[in-house]
Amino acid sequence: DKNLKNAKTISHIMAEAGYDVEYTECDISNRKSIKNLIKKAQEYGHISNLINAAGVSPSQASIETILKVDLYGTAVLLEEIGEVIKEGGSGVTISSQSGHRMKQLGAMIDEQLATTPTEEILDLEILQPENIKDTLHAYQLAKRCNVKRVMYEACKWGEKGARINSISPGIIVTPLAIDEFNGPRGDFYKNMFANCPSGRPGTADEIANIAELLMSEKGAFITGSDILADGGATASYFYGKLRPE
């Protein structure tokens, strides 16, 4: 975690539940910090699994920070872990339903988001400040990029017999979501889960169940994929009660 205090708190909770836990500080928007994280992990053996849930939300950060953390940081992390992942390993990165709400960007831009070298990706025209309306738009772009980057990296991870996928959750009750509920878009989010087919927000355990499948042998044929788990909110956005008028 970038916030070492948060990392200590979570590690203490997990340790009390019987898990062996190590915590460390990492800022995924910084390649050197990611390399240090990898070095620390390798002190305990080969890296065989990755779960990336790092990120910031539209109510927490500026456009520049969202792009640096959620977009660039995720791309660098997948690239660096892909260099050292153990044969047969697997990974999951958390994206968002937001990436599915945005209009189609076209094949050329999708390919740019997927394949542009990581140190050049923030120079893409579509990611320049004058082309981004607000922090929500930046977040949507970042999450669309996550999904495309997973597809690209899956091809490289596959050369090592490893797999990488993403999960795009809807409204999940987490500290980040609570910030959103209490932020300027709070009513928007509350309306979203009230009018989606499930009629409720999701839980972290429900997303963990999907991650467990993707990381296990039961998910051995799944790679380069994105699992949309939003209680039907995206379906409702296009074809139901949440459809824009």
Same domain, 124 and 231: yes
Residue 26: give the domain boundaries: 1-44
CB burial readout 172-202, b (16+ within 10 A) else e: bebeebeebbeeebeeebeebbebbeeeebb
Q: Coil, helix or strand for 241?
A: coil
Q: What is the mean pLDDT of residues 114-128?
A: 98
Binning pLDDT at 50, 70 and 90, where does residue 226 land? very high
> Is 97 in the same domain as 125?
yes
Percent of the chain with pLDDT over 90: 83
* Same domain, yes or no: 40 and 77: no
Determine how many CB atoms are found less than 10 A away from the CB of residue 213: 15
Catalytic residues: 139, 143
- Of 176, 193, 190, 179, whose CA–CA distance to 234 is shortest? 193
Q: Please give the tally of structural domains in the chain.
A: 2
Residues 33 and 50 in one domain: no
Residue 170 CA to residue 236 CA, distance in Å, equals 12
Q: Does residue 178 lie within any of the structural domains?
A: yes
The answer on 12 and 77 residing in a single domain is no
pTM for the predicted model, two decimal places: 0.92
Is residue 18 situated within a structural domain?
yes
C-alpha–C-alpha distance, residues 82 and 218, integer Å: 21
Q: Is residue 174 part of a domain?
A: yes
- Across the range 25-44, mean pLDDT stands at 96
The pLDDT value given to residue 184: 80
User: Is residue 244 included in any domain, yes or no?
Assistant: no
